Structure 1
Amino acid sequence: MGIFGALNNAVSGLQSQAYALEQISGNIANSQTVGYKRAETSFADMVADAAPQRQVPGGVTASTRATNDVQGSVQRSDVETFMAIQGDGYFVVAQQIGEVDNRPVFDDTDAYTRRGDFEIDRSGYLVNGAGYFLQGLPIDPTTGNPQGSAPETVQIQSDFLAALPTTQIDYRVNLARFPLTADADVDVPGSELLDPTDFTNDPTVVPATATDGFIQAADVPVFLQNTVAGGATTVFDESGAPVNIQFRWAKTASVGNGDPADQWQLYYLSDSTATGTDPAWRSTETTYTFATDGTMTAPTTDPVVNFQINGSTLNSVRMRHDSDGVTQFSDPSGNAQLTSLSQNGYAAGELIGVSISEAGRVVAAYSNGQVVDIAEVAIATFNGDSQLRKTEGGGFLATRESGDPILVDASDVVGSALEMSNVDISNEFTKLIVTQQAYSASTRIVSVSDEMMQEVLGMVR
């Protein structure tokens, strides 16, 4: 081959270095592209088939080497729907191929990307800067766990969050063994008790009847003097309307007064505008009984109460005390000391924001203070992720060589953050200098080969 072989080798060198230059220029151009993975150039020599003693260095060929497994720097962001993956994996995304009735239509083939600058579009979809739509696993509102195994395009509805009527009140309290009511006297046994004879009707009857088991409005001053405050909370009816509920405790029996056991009843304000004989306070219709060591012996299950409060009705509300939630230990304050008073209802709420949680979930926040998990971000890994096929906008498609996607949990997702390009400008310029010198050297070989050819042709003359 001789001179012609040298020319061919030089030309292959020029082509390969030009290919490398193209890669470098693309990397530098995308040095600020979110989630961009730089492309490296791999060179391979080409050796002609010959006996070992006759083999000579051949030409060179260039190919692309992916850097998908090289993490770019993760930077914080003020946009709550931006996200980055700290480690391996790709966001599973969908590509829009058209619209029907102003709604996007998606390609059946999933794409993958590291570009996490997702924002909500007019239809409630999370779309990144390259036009890819985020996919995730819907969250079961009952269990709080992801549903199914096939990612779906995430869409946040702007509808109001429906109200949840109160069905449970968590109530834990210690009742002083001797309540210091206004009429109580530590030197007079029984003075701390609610005496039915002080009232027009009997407020201690359980269960309540049409005439007993409540406090008439006219007897409220006496009732307040012989009971202790039990706290207050806001509950919600079926429409989500807030209802304030106030509690008071009355001790109705005492061992010190000759009764078999210490007993209490819990009352609530039923009608704040009641007058005369109208019921103002009602009993929860449960007698709380305590042993001498202060532990509760009855009821053995959490009471269920039908509340009637200022015209609102809340049926079948569970008063959750658990086995040790209500006690009667000695307390010099003589009050009911609350340790927990909360409920599970809420009003209807308007969507006010969307963010990414620490668990890698898309979370919707509402004006009523509720936070609802919408979907878990779908993250896929590949056994051969360097063999993924690049598409525009920082997207990738699975290939036979990359293998099928493997869905993993979203624990590596970081909200309010972006992974930047993994391009190092200084490194790219260093490669640029080396590439330029190699290209120049190849052109020199072409020049020398040409001169040698001219010498050969000169021999004819």
Structure 2
Amino acid sequence: MDVFTAMQTAVSGLKAQSFSLENISGNIANSQTTGFKRVDTNFVDLIAEQQTPTRQVAGSVAANSRQTTTVQGSLNATEVGTNMALNGEGFFAVQTKTGDAAGQSTFSASDFYTRRGDFAPDKDGYLVNGAGSYLKGNSLDPVTGQATGEGPIKISNSILPARPTSTITYSANLPKTPATKNANASIAGSELLGTLASGANPAILSGTGTKTVSAADSASFINGSIDGPSLTAYTESGGPVGIQTRWAKVQNADTETDTKDVWNLFYADKSTVTSTSTSWTNAGTAFEFSSSGQLTSPTTTAVTIPALTVDDVSLGNIQLNYGSGGLTAYTSSGGTVTTNTLTQDGYSSGTLNNLSITKDGKVSGTYSNGNTVALANIKVVQFNNSDGLKANSNGTYEQTLDSGTPLVGLNGTAVIGGNVEQSNTDIASEFSKMIVTQQAYSANTKVISTSQDMMSALMNIIR
């Protein structure tokens, strides 16, 4: 290597350090940019020509960028429900708007990827971040929960239609000895429902059937039964209907006759119960329990209450879902029903109040009727080599051959709603790198100055 080559090498050092300083300045400038990933600099030595080990020289240098897309920035809580951050690997799939025609927005044909999660609804209901990227995903029908198609997520402000009650989920313990008003510790079987004042017996002792209690027998029925669950169900139009129920034990176990404890569930024909004007309908099933308090019949996990009607409003066939082990008949000191679970799947119509993001990547809407409904699935992708992505403007990345194809799914990553990911730039670290870069740059200028002096001295030999 001659003096002139040394000067050229120093020039390559200046270029490399200038490249490094450019990355450092960009990192510092974007230290407050949401989701920004700093760009580090790799230096690579270049050997101009092959020499023997004893004649090999250091050669010049080149600088390359190194992405840090896998280095997560800190999460910062916000007060915006649709803001989101990825805690783990992955990217939000986004598209850019290409235009508006006839009131319809058009978007880019290809996907881009970003960690910038400061999404919020625009005037049309699309979720767009501060850099103008539109979040992609599968929109869901709020009524059926089924996906309606993939594309930019658009949140509708339309009214959530009412849903009629079709299923009641219920689990409880029925006392071994119910504390009815007729119960008398000295009289065997007095806790049972038995024959009513009119002589009618509405009990179903096995299987299924149809039995009712007239309003005239209401008082004696109430005396021979205990309170069951009470809840509000909904009609097709969303009208609330109060359902009042009572449990009645209709048979005690007898080992000699191999009979078991049997309970019946009754519901009132009115939402407001009075002892003189309310009739009761047997739900139609005999619930048999073993001596250990386990349900033995029916063997299914749900039964159907046929044509449930309250206040002359028919709710249709309602499924009573108690699950496996949901109904028991253990001894209870109070003699009352202990309800563990009581829900129903109906609701009235409602308007959208606010949006939130779930950990599994769903956009959920909370409505004025108190319901929270999933409205969209967010599209999150991962790459085998995230650092192989090509960085674009506005915090987006593009797929390359080096990155591989996108793998759809969270795969262990959690979506944190109400948060955004901050830049992963560390100002202190960047200042340290800047000092080192400045010194290296100055040192290279010294090499150039020295080389120039040496060349001048050489040229002065001939004088």
TM-score (norm: length of structure 2): 0.83
Q: 1:86-109, CA deviations, whole angstroms, 9 ceiling, x for partnerless residues? A: 333222221222222344321112
Moved more, 134-143 or 30-39: 134-143
Matches of residues 275-354 of structure 1 in structure 2 within 5 Å? 280-289=279-288, 296=295, 298-301=297-300, 302-305=302-305, 306-322=307-323, 324-354=325-355
Inter-CA distance 361–273: structure 2 relative to 1 (3 Å threshold): closer
Inter-CA distance 300–89: structure 2 relative to 1 (3 Å threshold): closer
2:440 to 427, 438, 441: 438
Inter-CA distance 357–446: structure 2 relative to 1 (3 Å threshold): same
Inter-CA distance 188–426: structure 2 relative to 1 (3 Å threshold): closer
Q: What one-letter code is carried by the residue in structure 2 that aligns with 1:49?
A: E
Give yes or no for contact 2:90–2:410 (8 Å, CA) kept in 1.
no
Give yes or no for contact 2:196–2:217 (8 Å, CA) kept in 1.
no
SS where residue 73 of structure 2 aligns? coil
Matches of residues 143-158 of structure 1 in structure 2 within 5 Å? 152-158=151-157
In 2: Cα distance, 1:121 partner to 1:155 partner: 9
Matches of residues 358-437 of structure 1 in structure 2 within 5 Å? 358-409=359-410, 411-415=412-416, 416-437=418-439
TM-superposed CA distance for 1:392, in Å, is 0.7
User: What percent of counterpart residues are identical?
Assistant: 39
SS where residue 223 of structure 1 aligns? helix
SS where residue 136 of structure 1 aligns? strand
Q: Which runs of 5+ in 1 are unaligned?
A: none
Give yes or no for contact 2:47–2:60 (8 Å, CA) kept in 1.
yes
TM-superposed CA distance for 1:127, in Å, is 1.7
Q: What one-letter code is carried by the residue in structure 1 that aligns with 2:237?
A: S
In 1: Cα distance, 2:68 partner to 2:425 partner: 10
Cα RMSD for the two superposed structures: 3.6
Inter-CA distance 327–99: structure 2 relative to 1 (3 Å threshold): same
In 2: Cα distance, 1:185 partner to 1:13 partner: 102
Inter-CA distance 193–383: structure 2 relative to 1 (3 Å threshold): closer
Give yes or no for contact 2:142–2:160 (8 Å, CA) kept in 1.
no
In 2: Cα distance, 1:289 partner to 1:60 partner: 86
In 1: Cα distance, 2:45 partner to 2:323 partner: 77
Inter-CA distance 54–96: structure 2 relative to 1 (3 Å threshold): same
Equivalent residue for 1:32? 32
Q: What one-letter code is carried by the residue in structure 1 that aligns with 2:427?
A: I
Equivalent residue for 1:165? 164
* Paired positions, count: 454
In 1: Cα distance, 2:265 partner to 2:121 partner: 50
In 1: Cα distance, 2:290 partner to 2:334 partner: 21
SS where residue 198 of structure 1 aligns? coil
Equivalent residue for 2:234? 236
Matches of residues 172-321 of structure 1 in structure 2 within 5 Å? 172-189=171-188, 191-194=190-193, 196=195, 198-199=197-198, 203=202, 207-208=209-210, 213-216=212-215, 218-252=216-250, 263-271=262-270, 280-289=279-288, 296=295, 298-301=297-300, 302-305=302-305, 306-321=307-322
TM-superposed CA distance for 1:137, in Å, is 4.6
TM-superposed CA distance for 1:132, in Å, is 1.4
TM-superposed CA distance for 1:383, in Å, is 3.0
Give yes or no for contact 2:177–2:331 (8 Å, CA) kept in 1.
yes
In 1: Cα distance, 2:439 partner to 2:330 partner: 89
Inter-CA distance 267–421: structure 2 relative to 1 (3 Å threshold): same
In 2: Cα distance, 1:275 partner to 1:334 partner: 23
Inter-CA distance 61–226: structure 2 relative to 1 (3 Å threshold): closer
TM-superposed CA distance for 1:322, in Å, is 4.8
Inter-CA distance 126–410: structure 2 relative to 1 (3 Å threshold): farther
Moved more, 387-396 or 73-82: 73-82
SS where residue 286 of structure 1 aligns? coil
In 2: Cα distance, 1:101 partner to 1:370 partner: 35
In 2: Cα distance, 1:197 partner to 1:48 partner: 109
Give yes or no for contact 1:271–1:310 (8 Å, CA) kept in 2.
yes
Give yes or no for contact 2:47–2:57 (8 Å, CA) kept in 1.
yes
Moved more, 81-90 or 448-457: 448-457
